Structure 1
Amino acid sequence: MASFSGFASCEIILHIYTIDINGGLPPPSNFLSKVTNFFHEKIMTPTGFGTYHTSLDVGGFNYSFAATSGITKTKAIDPTSPQALSSCPPGVSYTQSLILSSSSPSPSSLSKILNSLSKTFTPTSYHLLNRNCNHFTEALTLSLNLPSYPLYLNRVARTGTLLIKHEICEVKKEAEIARGNKIITKEEKKNKSKKKIITEKQRKALEALKK
């Protein structure tokens, strides 16, 4: 498991890149592909259903998640630079950067959060719809108590998961775990509810004995 520690204090910045569905290749010439490209560029993206890649700068380092490499940590640099773009998936173009916070967490806090997230965001767990780069940056953002993550970034994935049966990344739950909070399962909630009912019955029984 990778260890994440040692960084300089700075702003927390979310970098957003738009993904070309052609993967950076020239647009296909056949009619169906042209229709698909038109639908994606002129209809889906303007209505909040575009496809995006994201990474997060925290404390002078850039964190991202990808297939085969898992969570990666590199020195934060200009996102428009050739070096930064070369580390992104093929066919992406830089869109914008959002400052989410003017201060970063302590090195120890960030290290604990990232080490926790690395247990689920592994090199082999990447899935285009259920566990992608946007799931990671959203989970990390929530882990840092920054609720201002743009929901449109992963809208396509969330919509796609409604059509398939697969283990879906629950970013809020994983963020809670990364912060060290205990997650109460449905079974635990059910058992807790049963205990309350039993206690209430016992109370009524005791009141009846007193009469």
Structure 2
Amino acid sequence: MGAIASAPHEAPVVPAPVVLHVYDLGHSGEMRTVNAVLQTLGTGAFHCGVEIYGREWSFQASPRGSGVFVCQPRRCPSHSYRTSVDMGCTRFSEQQVLQTVQDMRVEWPGTCYDLLTRNCCHYSDQLCRRLGLGPIPLWTMNLAGAGAAVKGAYDVAVDALYPTLLTGCLGHTKAVRAGKVDVRMAKVA
């Protein structure tokens, strides 16, 4: 009977806790007060980061390279710590977490940061989901979602009204730039 070669056994991965850290934007007392009021309405303007294996990962605008960054847990230098939310445990090893973050660094360039649709809360939500956890609490990002919905409705309305605005102008017209839309105004004689 021949000897059977066996692969070295990897140590089983012990589930690692994942914590969402929530911050008030910036360091002003005014923002803390605004968020205290907004929190009674179930919302707020927050920065979020995800702690796992002793590091906190988040996302920010950056003129070049990735917007993904790491800091000490509960110590994001640009914002004031507010609270933490236990997100559960992941079965990802530390190496698997680092690989996941590395993959996301490529997918989350700092130049693609958008305050309403691709910010630190969206990044934190995606990281938690990739770690096999659920979404982050809705109250951390619903203000940005509401802002994005309003902006989207505005864009749809402008696109729908644009031909009417152009054909409805009488006499000489003058082009005026309003954001991304070219609006023509009637010249009053």
TM-score in terms of structure 2 length: 0.60
Does residue 64 of the first structure (1) align with residue 58 of the second (2)? yes
Cα deviation for residue 116 of structure 1 reads: 2.8
CA distance in 2, matches of 1:127, 1:157: 10
**Aligned-partner residue type, residue 48 of structure 1:** G
Cα deviation for residue 135 of structure 1 reads: 0.4
Higher Rg: 2
Residues 41 and 61 (structure 1 numbering): CA distance in 2 closer, same or farther, change over 3 Å?
Answer: closer
Cα deviation for residue 147 of structure 1 reads: 0.8
CA distance in 2, matches of 1:157, 1:48: 13
1:115-149 per-position Cα deviation (integer Å, ceiling 9, x unaligned): 33223311211111111100000000111121152
CA distance in 2, matches of 1:115, 1:14: 19
Cα deviation for residue 10 of structure 1 reads: 4.2
Residues 112 and 155 (structure 1 numbering): CA distance in 2 closer, same or farther, change over 3 Å?
Answer: same
Q: Find the counterpart in structure 1 of residue 7 from structure 2.
A: none
Match of 1:138 among 94, 119, 125: 125
Residues 56 and 93 (structure 1 numbering): CA distance in 2 closer, same or farther, change over 3 Å?
Answer: same
Match of 1:44 among 23, 38, 44: 38
TM-score in terms of structure 1 length: 0.55
1:10–1:60 Cα contact (<8 Å) kept:
no
Cα deviation for residue 24 of structure 1 reads: 3.9
Q: Find the counterpart in structure 2 of residue 30 from structure 1.
A: none
Q: Percent identity of the aligned residues? A: 24
Residues 137 and 26 (structure 1 numbering): CA distance in 2 closer, same or farther, change over 3 Å?
Answer: closer
SS in 1 for 2:107: coil
CA distance in 2, matches of 1:109, 1:132: 23
Q: Which has the higher strand share?
A: 2
Residues 111 and 24 (structure 1 numbering): CA distance in 2 closer, same or farther, change over 3 Å?
Answer: closer
Give 4+ residue runs of structure 1 displaced > 6 Å after superposition: none
CA distance in 2, matches of 1:49, 1:156: 6
Cα deviation for residue 54 of structure 1 reads: 0.8
Q: Find the counterpart in structure 2 of residue 118 from structure 1.
A: 105
1:15–1:56 Cα contact (<8 Å) kept:
yes
Q: Find the counterpart in structure 1 of residue 20 from structure 2.
A: 14
**Aligned-partner residue type, residue 39 of structure 2:** T
2:113–2:119 Cα contact (<8 Å) kept:
yes
Residues 49 and 127 (structure 1 numbering): CA distance in 2 closer, same or farther, change over 3 Å?
Answer: same
Residues 16 and 104 (structure 1 numbering): CA distance in 2 closer, same or farther, change over 3 Å?
Answer: farther
Cα deviation for residue 43 of structure 1 reads: 5.0
Q: Find the counterpart in structure 2 of residue 105 from structure 1.
A: 92
Cα deviation for residue 108 of structure 1 reads: 4.0
Match of 2:48 among 38, 51, 54: 54
Provide structure 1 residue ranges, at least 5 long, that are not aligned to the other structure: 1-8, 28-36, 166-211
Aligned length in residues = 136
**Aligned-partner residue type, residue 46 of structure 2:** Y
Q: What is the root-mean-square deviation of aligned Cα atoms in Å?
A: 2.9
1:8-32 per-position Cα deviation (integer Å, ceiling 9, x unaligned): x84211111123xxx54576xxxxx
Provide structure 2 residue ranges, at least 5 long, that are not aligned to the other structure: 1-14, 153-189
1:51–1:156 Cα contact (<8 Å) kept:
yes
CA distance in 2, matches of 1:25, 1:62: 22
2:27–2:80 Cα contact (<8 Å) kept:
no
